[in-house]
């Protein structure tokens, strides 16, 4: 399939409730460490390309707010649950930042606003991934960088999930409305960006090994800028 058919808003809202329930049982420090260990050094390397007064947008980062560890001055955190997380973890989220309590399908910011956009473990949880790709493409400055992480699934599992969601949605009660195979997320990204680097993250999902669930980090730029942006080892 070339594109996912968007899920219903009702299904997406149900997934948000599940996410909040799970966060109520989690330790924020542990979750931050789990996110930062495999991704932070790479994110910091790419962020160094931009001046201190640069701007970063973190989409769907929940309460982890990994951008708080970057040198860029202007930080924006976007998450439809961000107000819930600020109440859940009082005083734990950065104060020197802008918060947008909204979805990422339509963001009230001018085009070419951000040097760096982070989309970490978010796109599978969204309402309409294709619209989010369009928004990121619009908001990313020429020469800017998108870093996107995602859990991928075997092609068989991803397709089974998709068809179950379309035919028997009541059976799909997990926090991820979308399952992507590696080839599927590559196709989605390539419709909008050039992938200049991708790496298999050192994260082992707790699942049957035959399901081939893995974590990847993709580094992307606008298509017209890819030749000017070298990969950082």
Q: Which two tokens stand for residue 98?
A: 């802008």
Cα(221)–Cα(226) distance, integer angstroms? 6
Q: Is residue 2 part of a domain?
A: no
Q: Which two tokens stand for residue 196?
A: 């200049």
User: Where residue 133 falls among pLDDT bands split at 50, 70, 90?
Assistant: very high
129: domain CATH number? 3.40.50.150
3-class DSSP state for residue 145? strand
Query: What average pLDDT score do residues 133-141 get?
Result: 97
3-class DSSP state for residue 182? helix
Q: Is residue 149 part of a domain?
A: yes
Eight-state DSSP code of residue 8: P
Q: Is residue 109 part of a domain?
A: yes
Specify the pLDDT at position 101: 97
pLDDT for 229 beyond 60:
no
Q: Is residue 171 part of a domain?
A: yes
Tell me the HSE value of 131 on the side-chain side, using a 13 A CA sphere.
Answer: 11
Domain span including residue 224: 9-228
Q: Is residue 233 part of a domain?
A: no
């Amino acid at each position: 399939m070339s594109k996912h058919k968007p899920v219903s808003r009702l299904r997406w809202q149900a997934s948000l409730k599940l996410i909040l329930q799970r966060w109520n049982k989690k330790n924020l420090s542990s979750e931050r460490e789990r996110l930062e260990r495999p991704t932070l050094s790479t994110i910091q390397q790419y962020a160094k390309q931009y001046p201190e007064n640069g701007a970063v947008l973190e989409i769907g980062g929940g309460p982890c707010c990994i951008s708080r560890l970057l040198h860029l001055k202007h930080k924006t955190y976007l998450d439809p649950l961000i107000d819930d997380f600020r109440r859940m973890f009082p005083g734990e989220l950065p104060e020197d930042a802008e918060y947008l309590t909204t979805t990422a399908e339509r963001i009230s910011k001018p085009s070419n606003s951000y040097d760096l956009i982070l989309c970490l473990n978010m796109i599978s949880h969204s309402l309409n991934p294709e619209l989010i790709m369009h928004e990121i493409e619009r908001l990313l400055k020429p020469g800017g960088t998108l870093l996107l992480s995602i859990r991928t699934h075997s092609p068989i599992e991803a397709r089974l999930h998709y068809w179950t969601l379309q035919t028997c949605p009541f059976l799909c009660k997990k926090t991820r409305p979308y399952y992507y195979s590696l080839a599927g997320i590559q196709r989605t990204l390539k419709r909008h960006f050039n992938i200049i680097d991708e790496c298999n993250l050192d994260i082992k999902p707790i699942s049957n090994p035959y399901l081939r669930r893995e974590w990847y980090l993709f580094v992307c730029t606008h298509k017209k800028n890819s030749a000017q942006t070298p990969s950082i080892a």
